[in-house]
Chains A and B, each alone.
Chain A
């Protein structure tokens, strides 16, 4: 009964999210473009699927993944786990004490990004537009590796307490240089990948990890150090997606060079 209530409330919430979008689109279709909507029945069913799908997805995440993920983030950042006992807590923090946290951050960043619905959508579109040159899984894995590296580095920053903007500005400079050398085709998609990653599945877990870490590492403040993991998660996918394209291009060229060599 409680579950049904929860599902109903989430569906109402999702519907409220969907209504303005549908109103704008149908409004323009009918009044400005004065056009009938082709396949209206199909589209209405599709919208129903989107509504039900997102509703179930969110309720499921709240029931299964979020409580457990947040609990694990708290346990892994707990000084008792890190130092194996309260009495052994060192007065100075050494960054290597948190090795499991970095690994957990990378693993949870990678796996939640693979399940992110909006990334799946962009990957399907990219495969269609590129005529299959960019595979759905290739893009998703490249983005997921970026998020994994980003969040892991972000937790390292919280443990060491170095300022956020050093990392972000260095990352921006790296992105600018990489843009000059990466294949032109990939650049817009790579930039989009940064914005897509921080969505439904990843954000709540990553936020819990950041806040848990900032509140337990000695000398860190929740307000100054707790935020910023999202910024890392949006920055690194740009680098890995451009890197993925550069690697594919390099291997293709090497292949071409080898072929012409063997023919000669």
Chain B
């Protein structure tokens, strides 16, 4: 009993330490530079408590569920040795985690408003909805393809930097031709795809695959799926902009 309490206290203290820099920065600027009192102190204290408890629970769940799930499925696929199902899984995981991502839904709706006010699409609800849905599907497909390519890369042992640098050239070339209004949204959509649930799962999957395939090094081959998943949406969204506008 004492040991469990000790563990919980230690995890909570770890979370407090993770959040301490934010508290110091906010207090310093608010009290010393802006010279303002902290508004709604009660609500801020409750919120901070929730953040500490939430972060502690999440880290616990990460090690109990998300990491083991990603690893077990990677080992199982490596043992089964069927590339078709593995690649289908890779694509579904990328597509499925992205299409429902709340941050992406918000960005897509915002993008539809921007497109309508720039008169790129007719300013009607139906047009805006179909534009936003098209954007979401585009980003989800691009993340699916990114995880798919990333898994092929792990199996084959291709060096990541060639894919990424090639992708950078793709981004630069697309930037030259894409409509100006879509560029900001395209660059942002790279960042919104990798959610807090997806990152640990995908990382565990990559590392698990690289450790169970002979001749692959988990450090060199296991990481890199996230990098690909943040790169392809930029290219695909600019392509979507060119196709629709």
When the two chains form their complex, are residues A20 and B96 in contact, meaning their CB atoms are under 8 A apart?
A: yes
Given contacts A81-B34, A195-B229, contact A47 B65 (CB under 8 A): yes
Which of chain B's residues have a CB closer than 8 A to the CB of A228? Answer: 184, 187
Query: With contacts A53-B55, A56-B53, A114-B22 known, what are 14 further pairs, Cβ within 8 A?
Result: A24-B89, A49-B60, A57-B50, A57-B54, A100-B29, A115-B19, A115-B55, A126-B223, A129-B222, A130-B219, A176-B165, A195-B226, A227-B184, A230-B188
Which of chain B's residues have a CB closer than 8 A to the CB of A75? Answer: 34, 36
When the two chains form their complex, are residues A195 and B190 in contact, meaning their CB atoms are under 8 A apart?
A: yes
When the two chains form their complex, are residues A121 and B200 in contact, meaning their CB atoms are under 8 A apart?
A: yes
Q: Which residue of chain A lies nearest to B22 when distances are taken between CB atoms in the complex?
A: A111
Given contacts A55-B54, A200-B196, contact A63 B47 (CB under 8 A): yes
Given contacts A20-B96, A76-B29, A227-B184, contact A118 B199 (CB under 8 A): yes
B 166-198 to A, binary, CB cutoff 8 A, 1 in contact else 0: 001000100100000000110110111011111
When the two chains form their complex, are residues A50 and B65 in contact, meaning their CB atoms are under 8 A apart?
A: yes
Nearest-CB distance from A67 to chain B (Å)? Answer: 7
When the two chains form their complex, are residues B64 and A42 in contact, meaning their CB atoms are under 8 A apart?
A: yes
Which of chain A's residues have a CB closer than 8 A to the CB of B45? Answer: 64
Give bound CA distance, A111 to B19, whole Å.
8
B46, B54, B93, B211: the one contacting A24 at CB < 8 Å is: B93
B 100-129 to A, binary, CB cutoff 8 A, 1 in contact else 0: 111100000000001000000000000000
Which of chain A's residues have a CB closer than 8 A to the CB of B9? Answer: none
Give bound CA distance, A124 to B62, whole Å.
10
When the two chains form their complex, are residues A121 and B29 in contact, meaning their CB atoms are under 8 A apart?
A: no
Given contacts A54-B197, A230-B191, contact A117 B59 (CB under 8 A): yes
Which of chain B's residues have a CB closer than 8 A to the CB of A13? Answer: 102
Given contacts A111-B25, A196-B194, contact A60 B220 (CB under 8 A): no
Nearest-CB distance from B70 to chain A (Å)? Answer: 8
Among the 9-residue stretches A27-35, A87-95, A248-256, the one with 4 or more Cβ atoms under 8 Å from chain B is A27-35
When the two chains form their complex, are residues A64 and B195 in contact, meaning their CB atoms are under 8 A apart?
A: no
When the two chains form their complex, are residues A58 and B73 in contact, meaning their CB atoms are under 8 A apart?
A: no
- Size of the A side of the interface (Cβ < 8 Å), in residues, is 101
Interface CB pairs A-B, < 8 A, 25: A3-B46, A13-B102, A16-B100, A17-B100, A24-B96, A33-B77, A43-B68, A49-B65, A52-B54, A53-B53, A68-B30, A68-B38, A104-B29, A107-B28, A111-B24, A115-B22, A118-B195, A188-B219, A191-B223, A195-B191, A196-B199, A230-B188, A231-B187, A234-B190, A234-B230
Nearest-CB distance from B36 to chain A (Å)? Answer: 7
Give bound CA distance, A111 to B21, whole Å.
5
A44, A184, A188, A199: the one contacting B222 at CB < 8 Å is: A188
When the two chains form their complex, are residues B51 and A61 in contact, meaning their CB atoms are under 8 A apart?
A: yes
When the two chains form their complex, are residues B47 and A64 in contact, meaning their CB atoms are under 8 A apart?
A: yes
Give bound CA distance, A37 to B61, whole Å.
17
When the two chains form their complex, are residues B161 and A179 in contact, meaning their CB atoms are under 8 A apart?
A: yes
